[in-house]
Amino acid sequence: MANSETDITAILERNKRVELDKAWEVSLTRRGFIALLTYGITALLFWMNGLPRPLLQALIPAMAYVLSTLSLPWLKRWWMGEK
């Protein structure tokens, strides 16, 4: 009987970790951090390569990332409906 309780406890702990991981994956904090990191690294690389207006041009990949995260939930729902 104790083994069953241990198994149930382990499953509940795993479920909690999975729920936290999923919450992190869809969080605005994560998306914002990745967008800022993308912008910063891109701007730095553009500046190092001498491209014109690196701060302005670095917005393109950062905004592309943000747009992709906004469109993916819709795409996921559509894809799941097809299955």
Q: What angle do CA 78, 80, 83 make, to 5 degrees?
A: 115
- Residues whose CB falls within 8 Å of the CB of residue 55, separated by 6 or more in sequence, listed in order: 43, 47
**Predicted model pTM:** 0.74
String of b and e for 16-38 (b: at least 16 CB within 10 Å)?
Answer: eeeeeeeeeeeeeeebeeebeeb
Q: How many CA atoms lie within 13 A of 51 on its CB side?
A: 14
Sole residue written with tokens 């994560």: 30
pLDDT tens per residue, range 16-70 = 999 999 999 889 999 999 999 999 999 999 999 999 999 999 999 999 999 988 8
